[in-house]
Amino acid sequence: MPTENRSSNTEMAAKLSPCPFCGQQDAFVEQLDSDASVVICQGRIDEHSACLARGPVGVQQHECEDQPGHDQAVKEWNKRAAAAPHPDPIAWMVGTAIWWTKEEAERDAAATELPIVGLGPMTDTGEVERLVAANTEYARRHLEQQGEAEQLRIEMAQCATMAAMVYAREWAEHVGSGPISSKVEAAITQLHNDIHEANEKLVERDALLREIADHCNGCVMPTEQLLRDWGSSIDAALSASAEPQVKS
């Protein structure tokens, strides 16, 4: 075989295909003896175990190989990976539900926002169990988050209702529709106190004006006509201010 072809074939086979058993691309080429090597998968299956699938033994093809049998072992491994069956799924799982048609699974996935997992004839039942457990946990978390989102929506609606109540709370006492918040109640109390204080001042002012009016009206001298006019004006003003009574 020409040197350039041999080099090209080596480069083509240098990349290892994913393991046909566990599907992971985590393998290495181990030298067995002076003229042979083999590909061994070290993909993790779970926390405490690895795949360790072995490919066909590759023997030395030419003396210039850095590792005897390396190239042949890689070729045989890749041939086996390419020949591994990849059947179409016979069912589809969405969360914990299993659908026999892909269309139904896609509709369910769109409605639930859960991923679709194809189920086919698998020899590794442990992987099926792992997928079922993972999807069950995903579905549980999704439903839990949906419940949390619904609770947040309820609380936001309650906050909006409370905000509307606070906005109109100053009418609550007037119409008897409910309790009053502390800030609004304090403001209304202060307003009542201000009105009461203003009424007291008005009473004092009216009494003083009445006294002045009586004095002016009692004047009998012609030169005191101006005072009598003032007294009449004060009487008229007091009568007018007494009509709209201010209530506290």
> In terms of C-beta distances under 8 Å and separation of at least 24 residues, what long-range contacts does 224-231 make, across chains too?
none
Q: How far apart, in whole angstroms, are the C-alpha atoms of residue 17 and residue 23? A: 9
SS3 99: strand
Q: What is the DSSP letter of 16?
A: P
Residue 114, number of CB atoms within 10 A of its CB:
20
Query: Considering the entire predicted model, what is its pTM?
Result: 0.32
Torsion sign across C-alpha atoms 18, 19, 21, 27: negative
Number of residues in the chain:
248
Partners of residue 29 on adjacent β-strands? 39
Q: What is the pLDDT of residue 196?
A: 67
Sequence ranges of the domains in the chain: 3-83, 91-151, 182-242
Q: How far apart, in whole angstroms, are the C-alpha atoms of residue 171 and residue 163? A: 14
Q: What is the pLDDT of residue 247?
A: 46
| Chain centre to alpha carbon of residue 246 | 55
CB 231 within 8 A of CB 212: yes
Residue 229: is it exposed, middle or buried by C-beta count within 10 angstroms (0-12/13-18/19+)?
A: exposed
Interacting residues of 169 by C-beta distance below 8 A, sequence separation 6+? 180, 181, 184
Torsion sign across C-alpha atoms 54, 55, 60, 64: negative
Question: pLDDT by residue for the chain (248 residues), tens digit each?
Answer: 444 443 443 443 357 888 877 777 788 888 888 888 889 888 877 677 777 888 888 888 877 888 888 888 888 888 877 666 555 666 777 877 777 778 888 888 888 888 887 766 555 556 556 666 665 665 566 566 666 667 667 766 666 666 666 556 555 554 454 555 566 666 666 766 677 677 676 777 677 667 666 666 665 554 555 556 666 766 676 666 655 554 44
3 state SS for 173-219: HHHCCCCCCHHHHHHHHHHHHHHHHHHHHHHHHHHHHHHHHHHHHCC
